[in-house]
Amino acid sequence: MKLTWLGHAAFRLETAKAKILIDPFLTHNPGFAGLDLKDAAKDVTHILLTHGHGDHVGDTIAIAKETGATVLANADLAGWLGSKGVAKLEMGNTGGTVHFDGFTVTFTNALHSSAQITEDGVSHALGNPNGLMIHFDDEASLLHMGDTDIFSDMALINELHQPDLGIVPVGDRFTMGGAVAALACQRFFNFKTAIPCHYGSFPIIDATAEKFISGMEGSKTAVQAPKPGETLTL
């Protein structure tokens, strides 16, 4: 599996059967500055969304129309995307699993919000926020936590799914901060590798992942913090 951080909470995943974008907020993402949108979206087969905020939905509509990728989102968000012309949609909700060729995605809980105010000034309620638990046929399993605080039922997510890899928000203010994120990983999960995200993109959130990295010292979990555009082989 190849995993590329595209800044903020956006990632590109490449496996033998799929090329996946998660939360493809690219055009207005300061962390994506200097990177190429066409390269990030090249041959994409699936777009997976954790929730409806603009800094996560991002370029989903344009990329889906350009590539024909299938978009997975919660039911409310999927319905809204359909009204915007996205043709290939799969919907679900918290606890549900959607099956694709070579992998499944389960909507896990997350503590956050999900409405979006669009350019016309209208507020749209776009369902509940989620994490995304991805099980691949022939790759390590991956949990993108979405935007969330710590919560004790993370232990149940680990018990049910035993994710190998974790993508963890650490930037504070809108998600848990680095120290709390480290506590969540060490208390509730047994990740082989944790990848921090949701930092370094806007001035009002943490500029680095240092609090998370420091908090994970001594853990059995390896922390990899790529630079935007950097690809990890996992």
Is it the case that residue 52 has pLDDT exceeding 80? yes
101: exposed, middle or buried (C-beta count within 10 Å: 0-12, 13-18, 19+)? exposed
The answer to the question of residue 206 being in a domain is yes
pLDDT of residue 121: 83
Residue 46 within a domain: yes
232 located within any domain: no
Would 115 be classed as within a structural domain?
Answer: yes
| Strand pairing report for 89-92 and 46-48 | unpaired
Mapping DSSP to helix (H, G, I), strand (E, B) and coil, where does residue 71 land? strand
| Residue 14 domain flag | yes
Least confident of 2-16, 53-67, 117-131, 215-229: 117-131
Give 73's DSSP letter: E
Range of the domain at 143: 2-227
Q: Is residue 37 one of the residues assigned to a domain?
A: yes
Residue in the block written with tokens 């059967």: 17
Distance CA 196, CA 116 (A): 24
pLDDT at 72: 99
Span 94-133, pLDDT tens digits: 999 999 999 999 999 999 999 988 877 889 999 999 999 9
Our count of domains for the chain comes to 1
What would the pLDDT profile of 141-170 be if each residue is shown by its tens digit?
999 999 999 999 999 999 999 999 999 999
Q: What is the CATH number of the domain that holds 159?
A: 3.60.15.10
Residue 53 lies inside a defined structural domain of this protein: yes
Of residues 46 and 122, more confidence is placed in 46
pTM over 0.95, yes/no: yes
| Domain presence at residue 122 | yes
